[in-house]
């Protein structure tokens, strides 16, 4: 069997200005604003390095994608709730169904984040996470 390695590239996709607020209704949340950018963005426990480590240890390259030689970057978006829970993950840019599902699976099992804050209050914030799957 070939030696397979994958490289996860994580980057925050943000804009330079504060964008309009959006209203989203999820199963567990009432109708509340979800921000794209806030004064204090949500943070994975331990910061960016811990997020990279979590992804590297949690993601399993799907066998089907490996056999077909599929590689690419899945861009996923989710909400970091006021209590730090991750909710409503979705794929914004698809690569291959098995890779998309693996990225969503890992997002669903993330621990609580440090929530985002706007005007000193914890708020719901969209977070975009690109994950690159690469075989060597």
* 53-83 residue pLDDT tens: 999 999 999 999 999 999 999 999 999 999 9
At 110-122, the pLDDT tens digits run 999 999 999 999 9
CATH assignment, 32-133 = 3.30.2420.10
* pTM for the model: 0.77
CA–CA separation, 18 and 7 (whole Å) = 31
In the chain, the percentage of residues whose pLDDT exceeds 70 is 78
Contact 74, 62 (CB under 8 A): no
Burial class, 113, CB count within 10 angstroms (exposed 0-12 / middle 13-18 / buried 19+) = buried
Question: Helix, strand, or coil here: 84?
Answer: coil
Contact 89, 108 (CB under 8 A): yes
Q: CB 107: neighbour CB atoms within 10 A?
A: 22
Beta strands in 70-120 (DSSP E): 72-80, 86-93, 116-118
Q: CB 3: neighbour CB atoms within 10 A?
A: 6
């Amino acid at each position: 069997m070939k030696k397979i390695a994958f490289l996860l590239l994580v980057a925050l996709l943000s804009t330079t200005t504060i964008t309009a607020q959006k209203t989203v209704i999820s199963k567990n949340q009432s109708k509340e604003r979800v921000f794209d950018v806030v004064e204090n963005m949500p943070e994975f426990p331990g910061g960016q390095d811990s997020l990279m480590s979590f992804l590297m240890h949690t993601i399993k390259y799907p066998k089907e994608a490996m056999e077909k030689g599929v590689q690419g970057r899945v861009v996923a978006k989710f909400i970091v709730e006021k209590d730090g829970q991750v909710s409503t993950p979705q794929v914004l840019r698809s690569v291959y169904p098995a890779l998309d599902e693996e990225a969503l699976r890992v997002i669903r099992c993330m621990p609580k984040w440090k929530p985002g804050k706007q005007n000193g209050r914890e708020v719901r914030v969209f977070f975009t996470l690109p994950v690159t799957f690469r075989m060597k």
